[in-house]
Structure 1
Amino acid sequence: MSFFKKLKEAISSKTEAVTSKFIGGLAKTRDAFGKVGELFLRRKKIDEAFFEELEEILIGADVGVNTVMALIDELRAEVKKRKIEEASELQPILSEKLVEMLRGSGEDAGLRSNPNGITVILFVGVNGVGKTTTIGKLAWRYKQQGKNVLLAAGDTFRAGAIEQLEVWGQRVGVDVIKQHSGSDPAAVMFDAVQAAKQRNVDVLICDTAGRLQNKVNLMEELSKIHRVIQREIPGAPHETLLVLDATTGQNALSQAKLFGEKSGVTGLVLTKLDGTAKGGIVIAIRNELELPVKFVGLGEKMDDLQEFDADQFVHALFAGLVQNESAEENT
């Protein structure tokens, strides 16, 4: 059975709506990856020139130099091991390697929750990446599941941040715990946790400041927030999600490295994938940081925040090739 056929079977259990979300949301990135498909069709022979061109295309698609070099090395090894001669035979192997890379251990899928009480999710990320919007959409997802949700306005630094979160709270139908601008974020978190306990809340979603000009202060602030939450709810926060703007490409990778381990990040959210051809950065970030991608933003609608799925992602990147191969198999 071909890899593409396996890929189609792997996503057959998913709803058509989710599949179309990924295919539609990754349209611009698919155009960038289309050059890969053209290369496999245009070049029959696998030689050094083939690998050089493939390397150039993948780097141009924002897959990241380190990740591309690792992929090319793995493809060279497979060519030698399987005695592959025709370029077309290498396409499904590339797709397979990408799925493996994006999937990681497979133990990171979905958000962790607290089976014994309130689940606390902390959001971090620089300003302008879509953090507040993501919080609103995630709150909506939980509401659709029948959960009692509360938001904490912990970004007391940026002008308008509290008001922006309140707008989302009203839109989704959840309350927002806040203090005045310039307040101690840890104090806001304390209030939010107490309110969550009193109101029998299922999920508490916390916003934080996104400034990086003074990284030391930011990291100290995040550490303090962690301590306050952990003291009130042992084991919390259950997820610390770093939000990255996919349209910034390699800069998103740099931001992720800046936050690093000190902020206790457990997973990533890649926003605005529908507005960029730089979706390949998802592969680079997943590979270089070894952090699971939990969600991706594939549009502006409330349900366009989708749980990340490696099979769906790669299927969407090579959707045209999957259709072409299926047509060939049926003739």
Structure 2
Amino acid sequence: MRTPRIVLDTMHATFLARAMYVVTDLGVPDLLADGPMSCASLAARRGVEPVPLHQMLRAVATTGLLRTDPGPETGPQQRFSLTESGQSLREGHPSGTRDMVLTMQGELFWDALRVLPERVAEGRTGPEIAYGKPFFELMADRPAEATRFNRMMIATSGDESAAVAGAYDFSGIEKFVDVGGGIGTVLLELLLRHPHLHGVLVDLPGVTEQARQNIAAAGVSARCEVVEGDFLDSLPTGADAYLLSRILHDWDDETCVRVLRSCARAMTRSSRLLVVEKVLPDDDEPHLGKRLDLIMAALTHGRERTAAEYAELLAAAGLRTIRHLPTGTAAGIIEGALT
């Protein structure tokens, strides 16, 4: 019996992802921004060996991020150019793609993967096993990595923010609180899409400065407040809606209930809770959230959940689930209110 193709493809994908990391980390996309270059020239510019670099480039070119230019040259003399998709790997690209590649293929993530068998056997997370600290404590100790991780959220959310802004009827909402809003990715999408909205972003001090910069750059500072604080303790009260976008999946059930109770204490009878997560299907259907769930398992005590599991969390916090609203992406909106 032959090895199933899915096994071969999955095992090979590990090496392709690593080659993409090498090419990105070396800054090859930035070197190619002005036009095609030979592998030998790229290797000389970066002080690396041309033959293995050529192997990396040739593999990455199969993804459509690079292109092997036609010509008689072979081996390291072959010329490569950057495609439109490959532009996303350049430093400073607004998609956050480069940050995603460097973060997800970086040392911390790889160390967490390396100890995944121990993670399953012991219950401690990858960072706890490899570094002796939970993931978010490590991020607090590594501000440069934390900044890159926050920018990575732009890439991993894809078009979800725009989909959420369009899927939910915000006409009855005037003020909303973005709980743990990070650098403001979702908040900005809502404010730009719905000019009548006023937003309040709540997060820890290490994140809020970057959020303020992004809000100012978008020109919506007049309709947005940034509040430094721990959403497990308290939140601004009386808003029309409380948004938890990709927050609950970071935590175990007990902590999720604490977060939801914090929201419930701040809400009024007319307030709405909007939980935005990759809501998992109940069957074996392939789903982006199931792959993300593996990352959560490796790094944190959090997990992705089904609609029924989110409803159970809301109920434990004194909230009722109104509906599960699809967005046309892997993310869904769980709408809740006080019981």
TM-score of the pair, normalised by structure 1 = 0.33
Higher relative contact order (CA 8 A, sep 6+): 1
